[in-house]
Amino acid sequence: MDKSMLAVMDKAEVLIEALPYIQRFNRKIIVVKYGGSAMIDEELKKQVIQDVTLLKLVGFKPIIVHGGGKEISRWVEKTGMEPEFINGLRKTDEATMEIAEMVLNKVNKSLVQNVQSLGVNAVGVSGKDGGLLKVQKKLSDGQDIGFVGEITEVNPKIIMDLLENDFLPIVCPIGMDENFVTYNINADDAACAIAKAVNAEKLAFLTDIEGVYKDKDDPDSLISELTVEEAKDLIGDGYIGGGMLPKLNNCIEAIEQGVSRVHILDGRIAHCLLLEIFTNKGIGTAIIGDKDTRYYNE
């Protein structure tokens, strides 16, 4: 048998190895929070889209929830305004909100475009469509920081209808309050709220970190699996800080409301989603209900 044939047969083996993973998640909903470097680096972006499209084609039901981070700041500046932050949250006046919504929708349709180019039907919606995300004003330490909303209700009908009709839904985190005023929403919060509302099997955050560390100064202390109990202890013991704290709280909340596994993935690794799902090598940190649902070799 010639060499090219051997290489080809290796490929068959890889496909066969994927079999049990495909089975396990068949027709399950997976919410992917897409953000960070994976949204900026063109190669990484292409790979994330490939991964999600493949998940769709092999029978999963992925939903993308994305932010727009740096692009928003770029456009705020472009129109001559000065980005302003309070306690790390963007102060969002009416003009900023207008720019933010335009940029998020631009990103949204650009993702639709990428998925369509791979032959899969995608539809981009914001939290306004079909009343998907209802919010109320969110204060920052009691201070009004403008049109920043926290989710009070998710109406998942449009998402479920799109999944039912075989579309891949792509969601940008904009919502309306009870007076139908527009608000910006943290994308992590939106992904978490949607995952709960659609009863997702998995929620995966693409981030710019490797995962959760026992000792944040020791790169070898990456934790591959963490029960909700363990996560709460880590938080209680003050190990977790910075942007990881709300993210980890989101993870805990998602698990407690019915999502089976939440993953904090390193979005800087090519095809991190596929690797997480189709191999038994854990990428990043998985938050799980309890030890019985643990499945990586540590």
Residue ranges in 51-90 that form contacts with its own copies under rule CB under 8 A: 51, 53-54, 57-59, 78-79
Cβ(213)–Cβ(178) below 8 Å = no
Contact 202, 262 (CB under 8 A): yes
Residues 128-187 that bind its own copies (CB under 8 A): 128-131, 157-158, 161-162, 165, 167, 174, 176, 180, 182
Write down the least CB distance from residue 142 to its own copies, Å.
28
Contact segment (CB under 8 A) with its own copies among 144-152, 244-252, 271-279, 289-297 equals 271-279
Single out the residue of 74, 85, 94, 113 in contact with its own copies (rule: CB under 8 A).
Answer: 113
Kindly write down the DSSP assignment for every residue of 215-257, as one continuous string.
Answer: STT-GGGEESEEEHHHHHHHHHTT---TTHHHHHHHHHHHHHT
164 vs 144: CA distance, rounded Å: 40
The yes or no reply on residue 106 touching its own copies (CB under 8 A) is: yes
Contact window for its own copies (CB under 8 A) among 105-113, 139-147, 254-262, 288-296: 105-113
Residue type, 16: I
Stretch that binds its own copies, among 98-106, 145-153, 216-224, 248-256 (CB under 8 A): 98-106
Each residue 8-47 as x (binds its own copies by CB under 8 A) or -, in order, gives: xxxxxxxxxxxxx-xx--x--------------------x
Q: Please, which residue, 12 or 87, has the CB nearer to its own copies?
A: 12
Shortest distance (Å) from residue 194 CB to its own copies: 16
Which 185-224 positions form the footprint of its own copies (CB under 8 A)? none
Distance CA 69, CA 123 (A): 21
In this chain, which stretch among 7-15, 143-151, 204-212, 256-264 interacts with its own copies, using CB under 8 A? Answer: 7-15
Between 10 and 141, CB nearer to its own copies: 10
CB 257 to its own copies: min, Å: 25
Contacts of 294 (CB under 8 A, 6+ apart): 225, 227, 288
- Rounded distance, CA 31 to CA 262, Å? 9
69 assigned binding-site residue: yes
Query: How near is the Cβ of 161 to its own copies at its closest, in Å?
Result: 4
**238 annotated binding-site participant:** no
Distance CA 164, CA 56 (A): 13
Per the CB < 8 A criterion, the answer to whether 148 and 89 are in contact is: yes
Q: Which of 52, 72, 125, 194 binds its own copies (CB under 8 A)?
A: 125
Residue 40 CB, nearest distance to its own copies (Å)? 17
Binding residue per annotation — 68? yes
Contacts of 225 (CB under 8 A, 6+ apart): 282, 285, 286, 288, 294, 295, 296, 298
Size of the residue set binding its own copies (CB under 8 A): 72
Give the ranges where the chain is alpha helix by DSSP (H).
3-25, 37-40, 42-57, 69-78, 94-117, 157-164, 187-197, 228-236, 244-256, 272-278
Cα angle value 87/89/90 (rounded, 5°): 130
Is residue 119 part of the contact set for its own copies (CB under 8 A)? yes
Task: Tell me: is residue 124 an annotated ligand-binding position.
Answer: no
Which residues are within 8 A (CB) of 240 and not within 5 positions of it... i.e. 6 or more apart? 212, 234, 248
User: Which residue ranges make up the annotated binding site for substrate?
Assistant: 68-69, 90, 184
